[in-house]
Structure 1
């Protein structure tokens, strides 16, 4: 699936793109406003979709002066599954957070990064995950490996996409930060945190040899 285009999981048509826009906010939209969001669609194509959805009662159509406006009918029996589809990305992240919450103190930080975080996923995109394991934690390495394997399986089960997991220990993270590993910059700036805090990660990435401010005696 494409987390940035959740409706393509059930329909590849323009209908899904239009519903995604209407479900994004409880406001009315004009055809031109929808077209500015769905830049690949024509105004006429959007109009036909809205006419069809209005006939189904899923979309409410009003006219203000000479302007036609449209909004999702939140009382429609189909509104709940439509809203659920529009929230697939946040639902996916919440499921990962709940799963990783059971890992305990051994997991220092985790984030989704790459195209899944930046909204540029293709259908065949991997979902990239970044994990930091506590260096000083007295834990079974085999148990950790099993957890990582299960995490990869869960990602695929939830989305259909392969999970690509990048692991660091805390010590390895500091070494990589000191050598300017580009991936860490991507995670810090664009990653979606699903365990730990971004503040903790940024603290680890801060140069350790930063000069202390000089004071006068």
Structure 2
């Protein structure tokens, strides 16, 4: 089954997604590193049973029904907060969590995406993953409007050349400009030119947004 979030597997920030029933359907490598739980331990479980995050006052934030509460609080938007959670080894860590709703008419697709990083040292809001959140918000809006196949953006994404798609796939897998140049035996300047062309064609502001848009149209 196609998963539009699969390209987030190798991001530095932890990513988990839940379905309409609040069962975890996506858990990336960074989430494993940050919390110690492997994906095979988490997939299919209720997020509130295994995360159980609390705020500074000790009030539990991760609980049954929080999916609907987030829908009501941030329709089409992004929620950002710090929560205290326990790792697999019972260590208490503070995570800054940004949450974006990704609506879908099909129940088996992701409904809610959490992006998080350890902020125990500073325990304050961070905007280090704001680009990811902005891009996911745009993907959410794209899915919510359910545009027809021949819309302008889909037509533009299909105009990507074979080389541009190849570079976009490498970006999605975490390659830097230098690494892409080495992999394709081209200069970094040529890579940057291709990336600029991709951003222009997709109407994206940055690389991650380009990957998100391409993934939502099954271009990758």
Which is richer in helix? 1
Do both proteins adopt the same fold according to a TM-score greater than 0.5, normalized to the shorter chain?
Answer: no
Q: TM-score, normalized by length of structure 1?
A: 0.30
Q: TM-score, normalized by length of structure 2?
A: 0.30
Larger radius of gyration: 1
